[in-house]
Amino acid sequence: MTRVADVTALLEADSPGVGLVCGEGDAPVRHVLLAVDAVPATGAEAGRLDADMLVTLGGTVTAELGYRLGAAGTALCVVPSTDRDECSEAVAGRLGVVDAAPLTPRDEALDTVVAFVPKPDVERVIDALAEAGAGAIGDYARCVWTAEGVGSFVPLDGARPVIGAVGEVESVAETRVEMVLPRARRAEVAAALLRAHPYEEPAFYLCELAARPGRDGLGRVGDLASPVPLSRFAAQVARRLGGRPGGVRVAGDPDRPVQRVAVVAEAAAAGDLLRLTADADVLVTDELPASVVGAGPAVVCAGTWATRRPRLDAVAARLGPLVRVTVSDVVTDPWSLHV
């Protein structure tokens, strides 16, 4: 049976800082409702669906809402934004932006682990390192470089060698194994190596690599398959993202051709937003003050809910193997009427 703690741990692995607002970690979870905000409307929806857990991307959780969820036995977990900016990534995908890359890439801190393994144990050790997080490069997993050689050692008094005898020189055909890993996974990879390696004292080392621009970071920028007028693109944003009754707000010449698209789901997270998006034809974001519109690309403001909702599908894909998941389409933006 899946527990609240299991769901929280899975989310924490991808989004550090995940917070369990109410609920017991050992409580069973059969059904999870995903929503953009923790508000009375999504709390009521969780009750109607008999969901055991409500997972949201944000929202100021009032004491009253927390009490109601707790009294109903519904756990509440809030998943914050991350350096990966999954919201912008999801919006770009929903809008058909091709080859979207971060506007400001976040440098990857990488290490290399090098181990010397007896040939019969090589594949088992590589599998263990990969499972711990080593060997992932872009869309490829279990990436490894190997070379054959001979290791030599003398077991001393007190040693219990797997191969060789105390006091005697031993030479063993070994394979040098090299794999990259995120620096944040250094402890897990080292522990996995020690568990999987057959030797009492395995020979290995870790070294830091120079940082390189990663595939994560703030915002996304890429191209549409073909240019379209700004007015048509804005209509596509409104149709594909949905959201508030008033639809999207647009600043720019309606006939302006649009192909290069920048997406920043949370404008408040960006410093000099217009400088970052100067090379784009249009910026899609949640909200912008009038004072910063007009000096750069055309702007389409879709609202907070619309630029967060696509991320829920990615969260649902991660939770799907554990529990039944429902994604809420209750619009939590406060605007209810457009005149």
Top-confidence residue, 24 or 212? 24
Q: State the pLDDT at residue 156.
A: 94
> Model confidence over 176-213: pLDDT tens digits?
999 999 998 999 999 999 999 999 999 999 999 988 87
Q: What's the rounded mean pLDDT across residues 157-180?
A: 93
Band the pLDDT of 14: cuts 50, 70, 90.
Answer: low
Structure confidence at residue 277 (pLDDT):
86
- Best CA proximity match to 53, nearest among 120, 113, 108, 6: 6
Tell me: the pLDDT tens digits for 111-128? 999 999 999 999 999 999
Reply yes or no on whether the pLDDT at 138 is more than 70: yes
For residue 135, the tally of other CB atoms under 10 A from its CB is: 23
- For the beta carbon of residue 59, count every other beta carbon within 10 angstroms: 19
Domains in the chain with CATH codes:
4-80 (3.40.1390.30), 86-105+217-305 (3.40.1390.30), 110-210 (3.30.70.120)
Per-residue model confidence (pLDDT) at position 291: 66
